[in-house]
Every structure is written in C-alpha cells, then in structure tokens.
C-alpha cells in the first residue's frame, strides 16, 4: 500500500516524478482532463445561474475506477497537475471525482520537474485555488455559450456543421482584414540615390545615401525629380562635411515567454506553433539523461513572465564566467509587461550545466533545436551588452546631403552566445574619413522602388499581434490558430496565413450580426475580466450574467431577421450532366464547389478545378492546383495519371528556377 498518491496529467510526467519520490509513493496520470462539458448539448444551465453540467469524459471510466481505488488506499493524495489555470481546473475536477477522500487531498505545484522542486512542493502542499478554477470555468462556459449560440447562424446562412468561436473569430477577422488591406493597397513610386565613393588615401570604397538638400529631408517620387537631381550633381565634388565617431551598446532580450518562444522558434528553426509546444512539453516533462535519470530539462512552458529565480541566476553566472570570463557576465532583471501573470518564471533550462551540446545525443533533432534556442536565449539574458564602434559621416555634393553609417563589433558580450540575425555582427566600418576631405565618385546609382502592402500574418506574427492587443493567453495561442486552420477558415501558403473563401464569408456574417463578440477591444476586455476573477476581484457568474444579457438579445434579433431570409445560391455556367439544370456554387469545409440545385432528386456535385497559366513541362497540358489532406497546395498535370506523371509542390516556373 502506497503512503502517498500523486496525480499528474501525463504518463511522461508521472515517470519522471516517480523516480524522485521513491517506492512508497504511487504516481498516476489522469491523461489530461477527466471531466468536461458534454459535446452533444450546451451543457450550461442558463436557468440555474449558468451552472456548468460537467460529465466524465467518455473512455475514462476504467481510469476513474483505478484512481478511486488507489485514493482509498493512500494516506495522502497530492494533485500535481500543471501550475496554471487549466492545471488548477483539472485538479479541481479530480478532487470532485475523489470526493469521498476529500480530507486526504492537497494541491502541489512546481515550475520545473527536478528532484529538488518536486520534493520541496510535496513539503509545501496547499488548498486548490478556487479563484484560478473559476477563471478557467468562466472561459470554458463563456466560450461554450458563444460557440453554441452563434454557430446555428452559420448553419442557416452558409453550411451545417460550421462553428464560431470567441477568440478564433477575432483571429480570423484580423487575417481577413489584413488580406483586404493588401488587396486595397495602391503602390506609390519612390526613389533612392546611392553614391559609390572611394576614399583616396586608403583606396577603400563605401556607399553613401542621398538623404536631403540644404539640411532638409528629401523625398523623391518620380523619374523627372531624379533626372533633375542627377543634373544638379553631375560635376559635384563630394566633400566630407561631418564625422561623428561613437560607441553603441546592444542589450540582450529577456528569456522566453510562451509567445516569444513561439515567434523565435518559427523564425529561427521553422517550427509551427503546435510543434513548438509539443516539443517544449516533452522537454518539460522529462528526458532520460544517463547518470541523471529522467529529468525535466526546461521550466513550465506556458508563461508570460520574464522573471527568473535567484538560484537560476546564480547557476547562469557560474556557467558564463567559466565559459567566457568575468567581463561577459551581467546580472539583469527584466520588467514584466503590464498584464503578465507572474506566477511562474520565464522559460529556461532547469540545469545550467546541461549544455545543448553535452546532451545532444540523448535528444531528438527537434528537441535539440528547441532546447538549444531556450538555453542560449536564457544564458544570453544574463550576459553583458555587445559593444560597437560606430561612425556616421555626412557628405556634401553641391546642395545635396549624403549620409553613410558604419559599425564595427568591439566586444561580443551576449552575442558570443546568442544572435538574433546572421547579419547583426557584420563589420561595415567606414574608411578613416576626415572633415573637409574630398572623395572620388565611382558611380551614382538611382534605384526605383514602390511602397509595399503590409505583409500577411504568419503564425508567429499573428501570435505577436494577439498578445499586443491583449487577446488570449499563453495557453490559447497555439490551439486558436490550430482550430481555424482545421476549420479551413484560413490556410497556409508557405508560412503566410491566408483567409479562404469560406473564412471570408463566415467573417462577414459574424461582423454583420455579432459586432461586439468579434470586436478586438471587447475580446481583450473579456481577457482582463478573466484575470480579475483569477485574482479574486470578480465573481465568475456575475461576469457571465453581464455578458449574457446583451448577447441573448443579439441572438434573438439575428434569429428573427434570418427567419424569412433565404440565401439565393450563385448560379454557375456549368450544366449538370445528370439532369440538365445549371449548377450552383456551394460552400463546404474545403471551400467552394458546384452542386446541382435539384437536390435531393439530383445529388450531383463537382469540384471547382483551379488552373494556372504555366503549361506542363513534360507534355504541355494544363496545370491544375490541388490541395493535400493537410491543406498544402500542389501542382499536377491534367493528364496525370493517364499519360503524364508531372506533379510538384511548386508551380513549373519556380521548379525551372530551382534547377538553374
């Protein structure tokens, strides 16, 4: 009989913890949530003050029996689910299921799965934090009400089976609005003029950019303006007017939060949000390292705090001084952002001495890449600033002002450990120029450019935008984007997020009918209220009541307006070969398709085949654009597989460029 029963979410976490706690402790995994709202109905009793109607999750019956059996035998029960709101809610649900043993139940949390952290947590148990549970319940109940009440609107006007979500709908709205900005964008012409100059004494060439005229900023918008400028400086002397030498410091960024880790993993190692969180979960829950056993390699990966413990700070100091020297270390503190939940630390390695290289052979390739990123970012955050020698030079050519900048890395500081881009430490130092010195003109180079539209969102930039606008929290970014991709409201082209036709239509309907719910500021305000509940400053049912009153009126109004609305399907020019009617456009999970209007007598449907102007490089046939099961576009010859086997991820024009 085990003296202690410890319950965690996952078997991996259970295995790691078991090794720390010894034989008299039984460690079991709940396999995530044990209870939830039912899938088949709303599951929230509106009449009974929004009481949630939780049920045991299907398939968990045997596990629940086993948990109850072991709980009865144990002298003490520790619920050690994750240290966030969702983990607290899982702990609360487990306590409800083990109600008969409630006098034995305590809650323990740890920010890292290390022997010391786990043993210390067991020594300092606490009660389940009902405020955190209520914040999670408020989110779950509110999202369930919004989804279940808004989705039928989409069924009536677009297609049965579609669904709307609170945060997801705002994310889709942002992506659609960005696409509209791009389509509406009108490029404007502008020109830059560069002078390639030679320093006569050192014989070094460098480039200066035209920035003004008579010390006033100059903007050039046409070829005529350029021709006039070139005429005015045709025989000009290029004289050094001013030389400023200085020193510039660059400071390291803080250690990772969830969102900055997701952004950097996307940018530097090309991970999707989902992959980043999955690999981080593995690193947190435990990896087998010879001589150490199974250890959690990083702290908890759902956090928006940049705080680090004094123990971690001391361990980083030792590593940095041993590896680089005293001058490379700097004790740094980072200010938390305004809305940060500072309950746990930033994401950092749990053991500073376990360098990525020293444990590379025990990690998968993906685990190594992410661990290296986390480890180096953390270490760099406790290192000295990088120092650059800088030179800024102003050059006169008649009345025109040219400017050149140069820099030289003088002291690497944190950049010895972590670089944000490959080019940031490139040396661009100018020759040893002096005031009133004349330079030789090698070439004048006018370049025409056009302003560009804002870029499409990527997963990383959308997370950044959601965080800046106060929408969602560390635990919600990845599932939000995964959901709207799965619903086919958006799709990925390379790394860019593009709204589908279905996503655009759904967004239009929601904006027209549920302005508040898909409003960015309103959604951010809801997040702030969840925070207030978590801190015990607001009662969760009161918040739901205040939301539900106006929301219910909106639902009633929309349903009344839609009662007599029949959407006419757009008629195509394609004749149904089965019954002769003109086929109409319909929308499904995978976008637009053709259907016979004679349904249910005639059930004929056709896919709409997208083509491109490029011809098949093998047989000259038409190239069709299709999508894989995962939604990725590929290019295939119309004659495949009958007489041609051409198929490629890129269109033929890009394939040709790749081969040259």
Q: Which residues are catalytic?
A: 300
Report yes or no: 623 and 637 within 8 Å, Cβ to Cβ: yes
CB 233 within 8 A of CB 401: no
CA dist 256 and 271 (Å) reads: 15
Integer Cα distance of 373 and 393 in angstroms:
37
Q: Which residues lie below 8 Å from residue 360, measured CB to CB, with a gap of 6+?
A: 368
- Taken in order 261, 267, 269, 274, the sign of the CA dihedral is positive
CA–CA dist 485, 556 (Å, integer): 30
Give dist(CA 262, CA 466) in Å, integer.
13
Characterise 648 by phi-psi region: left (phi > 0), alpha (psi -120 to 50), beta (else). beta
Cα(492)–Cα(499) distance, rounded to whole angstroms?
Answer: 9
Enter the DSSP assignment of 244: E
> Rounded to whole angstroms, how far apart are CA atoms 284 and 348?
10
Angle ∠(161,163,167) on CA atoms, nearest 5 = 165
The answer to whether the beta carbons of residues 84 and 475 sit under 8 Å apart is yes
β pairing state of 105-107 and 76-79: parallel
Give the pair of three-digit tokens for residue 165. Answer: 């979500």
Q: Which residues contact 527 (CB under 8 A, 6 or more apart)?
A: 339, 470, 471, 472, 473
CB atoms within 10 A of CB 402: 24
**DSSP-derived secondary structure for 270-322:** ---HHHHHHHHHHHHH-EEETTTEEE--B--S--------HHHHHHHHHHHHH
- Report the chain's C-alpha Rg in angstroms: 31
Q: Which pair of structure tokens corresponds to residue 364?
A: 């998968």
Q: Cα–Cα distance between 113 and 306 in angstroms, integer?
A: 19
């Amino acid at each position: 009989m085990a003296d202690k029963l410890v319950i965690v979410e996952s078997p991996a976490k259970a295995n790691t913890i078991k090794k720390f706690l010894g034989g008299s402790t039984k460690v079991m995994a709940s396999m995530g949530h044990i209870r939830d709202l039912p899938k088949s109905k709303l599951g929230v009793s509106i009449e009974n003050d929004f009481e949630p109607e939780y049920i045991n999750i299907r398939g968990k019956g045997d596990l629940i029996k086993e948990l109850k059996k072991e709980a009865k035998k144990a002298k003490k029960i520790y619920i050690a689910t994750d240290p966030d709101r969702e983990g607290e809610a899982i702990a609360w649900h487990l306590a409800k299921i083990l109600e008969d043993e409630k006098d034995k139940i305590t809650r323990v949390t740890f920010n890292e799965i290390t022997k010391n952290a786990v043993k210390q947590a067991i020594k300092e148990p606490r009660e389940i934090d009902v405020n955190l549970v209520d914040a999670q319940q408020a989110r779950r109940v509110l999202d369930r009400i919004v989804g279940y009440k808004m989705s039928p609107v989409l069924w009536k006007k677009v297609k049965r089976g579609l669904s709307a979500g609170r945060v997801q709908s705002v994310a889709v709205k942002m992506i659609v609005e960005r696409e509209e900005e791009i389509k509406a964008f009108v490029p404007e012409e502008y020109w830059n003029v560069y002078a390639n100059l030679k320093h006569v004494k050192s014989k070094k060439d460098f480039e200066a950019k035209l920035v003004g005229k008579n010390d006033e900023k100059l903007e050039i918008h046409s070829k005529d303006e350029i021709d006039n400028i070139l005429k005015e400086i045709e025989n000009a002397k290029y004289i050094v007017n001013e030389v400023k030498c200085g020193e510039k410091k660059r400071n390291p960024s803080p250690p990772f939060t969830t969102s900055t880790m997701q952004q950097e993993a996307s940018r530097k190692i090309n991970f999707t949000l989902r992959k980043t969180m999955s690999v981080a979960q593995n690193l947190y829950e435990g990896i087998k390292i010879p001589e150490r056993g199974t250890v959690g390699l990083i702290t908890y990966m759902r956090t928006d705090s940049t705080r680090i413990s004094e123990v971690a700070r001391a361990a980083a100091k030792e590593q940095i001084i041993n590896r680089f020297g005293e001058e490379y270390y700097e004790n740094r503190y980072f200010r938390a952002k305004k809305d940060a939940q500072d309950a746990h630390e930033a994401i950092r390695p749990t053991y500073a001495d376990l360098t990525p290289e020293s444990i590379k052979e025990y990690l998968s390739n993906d685990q190594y890449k992410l661990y290296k990123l986390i480890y180096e970012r953390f270490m760099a955050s406790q290192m000295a600033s990088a120092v650059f020698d800088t030179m800024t030079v102003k050059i006169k050519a008649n009345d025109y002002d040219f400017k050149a900048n140069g820099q030289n890395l003088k002291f690497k500081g944190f950049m010895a450990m972590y670089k944000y881009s490959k080019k940031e430490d490139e040396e661009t130092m100018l020759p040893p120029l002096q005031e009133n010195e004349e330079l030789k003109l090698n070439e004048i180079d006018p370049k025409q450019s056009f302003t560009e539209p804002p870029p499409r969102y990527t997963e990383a930039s959308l997370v950044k935008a959601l965080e800046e606008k106060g929408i969602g929290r560390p635990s919600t970014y990845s599932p939000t984007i995964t959901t709207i991709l799965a619903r086919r409201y958006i799709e990925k082209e390379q790394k860019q997020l593009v709204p589908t036709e279905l996503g655009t239509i759904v967004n239009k309907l929601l904006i027209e009918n549920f302005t508040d719910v898909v409003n960015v500021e309103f959604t951010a305000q809801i997040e702030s209220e969840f925070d207030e509940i978590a801190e015990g400053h607001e009662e969760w049912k009161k918040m739901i009541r205040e939301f539900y009153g106006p929301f219910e009126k909106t639902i009633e109004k929309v349903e009344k307006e839609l009662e007599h609305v029949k959407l006419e399907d757009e008629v195509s020019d394609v004749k149904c070969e089965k019954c002769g009617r003109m086929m109409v456009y319909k929308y499904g999970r995978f976008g637009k398709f053709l259907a016979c209007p004679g349904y249910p007598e005639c059930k004929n449907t056709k896919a709409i085949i997208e083509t491109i102007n490029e011809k098949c490089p093998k047989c000259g046939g038409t190239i069709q654009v299709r999508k894989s099961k995962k939604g990725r576009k590929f290019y295939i010859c119309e004659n495949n597989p009958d007489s041609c086997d051409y198929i490629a991820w890129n269109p033929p024009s890009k394939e040709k460029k790749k081969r040259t």
